[in-house]
Structure 1
């Protein structure tokens, strides 16, 4: 039993020593390219000086002044009239506007389209509890 343990331990030590020495060696240097035959240098052709090209000013997109209004953005995108009506009737649009106005943090709104609302069963919004129901 002890011979088997000593043999296993010695194999393990040899393996570890081999790994350490292999990892400790520096990486091989890249192969040097073969020397290409040197061609005689030709004098560069001198072009006459040209006037510098006029500098074109980069068009800067107009900066948006003020706080973004979620309902206006959705209105411009189109197809969100039901969602806009629900935001306004519940007062959430004012809350969103206030949060954007009072912080540097933005947020993402996942807005369902009018087609998504038309796919709901009749009375789905009316079946919501008073807490969840838009006024």
Structure 2
């Protein structure tokens, strides 16, 4: 597989980022043992591993990774962060929809105050809207 380079220009460009992520996923999925990443509940085995799955696998196999594999995992970090942000935002939305108060959610998540928890949710929502 060719090294992950940026032949199109700025890394901020959506198409470039998508291309780099595609190359990084392909490289990490090509490594031996990746087929051992198991399916999670709610996600059939036919769905390829997520960016979080691939980055976690890279961390667990760090002693065996080549430099290009490490770079590929780093390329996927923004996508993995976006996946986790989406899960957190969705879970917070579900908690509020179920009638949990910001105080209850803040305590469960370890925030110092309900306001801090709500502000965190607002920042998550804003970040997701900007990245779309």
TM-score bracket for this pair, using the shorter chain length = under 0.3
- So what's the TM-score if we normalise by structure 2? 0.18
- So what's the TM-score if we normalise by structure 1? 0.18
- Flag the structure with larger Rg: 1
